[in-house]
C-alpha cells in the first residue's frame, strides 16, 4: 500500500490520479501527513459517487474557432474512465471539486437531459446544427450502463432526424449500433473512437477504467459494419511515450473499418499538468524529464499554450514531424478522407398530442 493511500484513508485501486489537490478557486489547501501513528493496512477502496442534476438547458453553444462544432451535450460531469491526461479535469473546479480523484469518483448525471433536449428541439426558434457528444467527458463511461441517458438522447435525435457526432473510447456504444447504424446510413451521424496506444499495459495505467485498445478496435469494426462512419482519433499523442505508435494505430484502425482519422497532441491545461507529472513520476520516472521536455518544447517553454489554432498541435520541429508522419500514413491508408457534412435537411419535429396542425 502506498504512502499516498495511507494518508488519504482509502485505496485508490483502478484510479489514475493519486491525489486530490484543491481546485484553483479554493482559498485554502489541506495537506495530509504521516504523524507516526499506525495506519490501517486494510483500507476501503475509493468508490464512485453519483449526484443527480436537473439543468435548465442541455444544448451548450460553442464559439471556439478551432473546434468543428457549434453545439454539444454533456450527459455527465466528471468521468469514471479516469484518463490522467484528460483536458476536462479542470472543469470539476466549477463544481467546487478537485480535478484529481474527485473528477474520477464524484460524478454528476443528468437523467432528465433527453426530456429537456426535446423541449429545446421543439422551440420554433431552433435551427438544426450538428450536436456533438463526448467533447468534454465521455458519454459512454461505465455509469451510462445504468442511467441510459445517452441511449434516450439518441432515441430523441433519431426520431427528429437530427445530425449528431459522438466521440468516445467506451465500448458501451456497441449497445446503440441499431440507432447509430440507421442514422449513419441516413447521413446524420458519425462516431470518433479514441485510441491513444495499442499497449494494453500502458493503457491500463493511463486510462484505468476505459476499455482496452483491442476492444476499441473491435468497436470500430462493429460500428462500421452497422453502417455508421467511424473516424479513429489518435488523441492525445503523448511525446516520448506514445508518439512512436502513430502509424501502427492508424493501420489497425483502418483494418477495422475506420474511414477517416485525426490526431491531437497532449494538452495539459491548469491542474492537469501537476497531476500528469505526478503520474509520470510514479509510473515512468526514467522518462518523465524527457516527456515534459518535449511538451515544453511544443509550447514555447510552457506546460501548455491555450492559443487557438496551436493548443491541439503545439508548434516547432516535433509538432511538424508528427503532423508529417500522420499525413503520410493517413494518405497511404485512405484515412485522409474529408467526410461530407452531416445532413440537416432531414430534421423534422414529430407531431405530438396537443400540437397545432398545419392548414396546408
pLDDT at position 183: 98
Strand ranges across the sheet with 106-109:
49-52, 106-109, 76-77
The three grid cell numbers given for residue 269, joined into one nine-digit string: 491545461
User: Mind listing the pLDDT tens digit for each residue in 102-153?
Assistant: 999 999 999 999 999 999 999 999 999 999 999 999 999 999 999 999 999 9
The three grid cell numbers given for residue 350, joined into one nine-digit string: 414529430
pLDDT at position 249: 98
Dist. CA 237–CA 305, nearest whole Å: 16
pLDDT at position 177: 98
Across all residues in the chain, what is the average pLDDT? 92
Lowest mean pLDDT among 25-39, 190-204, 219-233, 282-296: 25-39
DSSP-H helix ranges across the chain: 3-8, 101-105, 113-121, 144-147, 149-160, 177-186, 200-206, 213-226, 246-256, 272-283, 288-298, 317-332
The residue length of the chain stands at: 360
pLDDT at position 117: 98
User: Mind listing the pLDDT tens digit for each residue in 4-36?
Assistant: 554 455 556 789 998 888 888 876 666 665 556
Q: How many CB atoms lie within 10 A of CB 75?
A: 28
User: Mind listing the pLDDT tens digit for each residue in 152-174?
Assistant: 999 999 999 999 999 999 999 99
pLDDT at position 13: 73
pLDDT band for 40, please (50, 70, 90 cuts).
Answer: low
Domains observed in the chain:
169-267+312-341 (3.80.30.10)
User: Mind listing the pLDDT tens digit for each residue in 232-255?
Assistant: 999 999 999 999 999 999 999 999
- The dihedral region occupied by 36, where left means phi > 0, alpha psi between -120 and 50, and beta the remainder, is left
User: Mind listing the pLDDT tens digit for each residue in 302-315?
Assistant: 999 999 989 999 99
User: Mind listing the pLDDT tens digit for each residue in 56-82?
Assistant: 999 999 888 878 789 999 999 999 999
User: What is the average per-residue pLDDT within 43-54?
Assistant: 87
pLDDT at position 6: 43
Let me know: does 234 contact 205? Beta carbons within 8 Å: no
Amino acid at each position: 500500500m502506498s504512502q499516498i493511500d495511507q494518508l488519504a484513508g482509502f485505496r485508490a485501486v483502478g484510479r489514475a490520479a493519486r491525489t486530490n489537490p484543491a481546485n484553483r478557486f479554493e482559498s485554502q489547501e489541506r495537506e495530509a501527513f504521516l504523524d507516526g501513528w499506525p495506519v490501517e493496512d486494510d483500507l476501503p477502496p475509493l468508490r464512485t459517487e453519483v449526484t443527480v442534476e436537473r439543468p435548465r438547458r442541455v444544448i451548450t453553444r460553442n464559439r471556439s474557432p478551432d473546434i468543428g462544432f457549434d453545439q454539444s451535450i454533456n450527459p455527465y460531469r466528471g468521468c469514471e474512465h479516469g484518463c490522467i491526461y484528460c483536458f476536462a479535469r479542470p472543469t470539476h473546479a466549477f463544481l467546487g471539486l478537485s480535478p484529481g480523484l474527485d473528477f474520477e469518483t464524484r460524478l454528476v448525471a443528468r437523467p432528465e437531459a433527453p426530456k429537456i433536449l426535446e423541449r429545446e428541439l421543439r422551440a420554433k426558434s431552433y435551427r438544426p446544427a450538428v450536436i456533438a457528444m463526448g467533447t468534454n467527458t465521455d458519454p459512454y463511461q461505465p455509469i451510462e450502463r445504468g442511467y441510459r441517458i445517452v441511449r434516450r438522447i439518441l432515441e430523441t435525435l433519431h426520431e427528429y432526424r437530427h445530425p449528431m457526432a459522438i466521440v468516445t473510447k467506451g465500448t458501451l456504444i456497441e449497445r446503440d449500433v441499431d440507432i447509430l447504424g440507421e442514422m449513419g446510413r441516413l447521413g446524420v451521424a458519425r462516431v470518433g473512437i479514441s485510441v491513444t496506444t495499442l499497449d494494453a499495459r500502458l493503457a491500463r495505467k493511463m486510462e484505468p477504467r476505459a476499455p482496452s485498445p483491442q476492444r476499441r478496435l473491435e468497436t470500430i469494426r462493429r460500428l462500421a459494419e452497422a453502417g455508421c462512419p467511424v473516424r479513429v482519433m489518435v488523441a492525445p499523442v503523448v511525446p516520448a511515450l506514445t508518439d512512436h505508435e502513430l502509424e501502427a494505430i492508424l493501420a489497425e484502425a483502418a483494418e477495422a473499418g475506420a474511414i477517416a482519422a485525426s490526431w491531437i497532441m497532449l494538452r495539459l491545461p491548469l491542474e492537469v499538468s501537476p497531476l500528469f507529472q505526478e503520474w509520470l513520476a510514479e509510473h515512468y520516472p526514467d522518462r518523465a524529464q524527457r516527456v515534459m521536455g518535449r511538451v515544453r518544447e511544443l509550447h514555447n517553454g510552457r506546460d501548455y499554450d491555450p492559443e487557438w489554432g496551436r493548443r491541439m498541435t503545439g508548434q516547432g520541429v516535433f509538432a511538424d514531424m508528427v503532423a508529417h508522419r500522420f499525413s503520410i500514413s493517413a494518405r497511404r491508408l485512405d484515412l485522409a478522407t474529408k467526410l461530407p457534412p452531416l445532413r440537416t435537411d432531414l430534421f423534422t419535429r414529430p407531431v405530438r398530442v396537443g400540437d397545432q396542425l398545419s392548414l396546408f
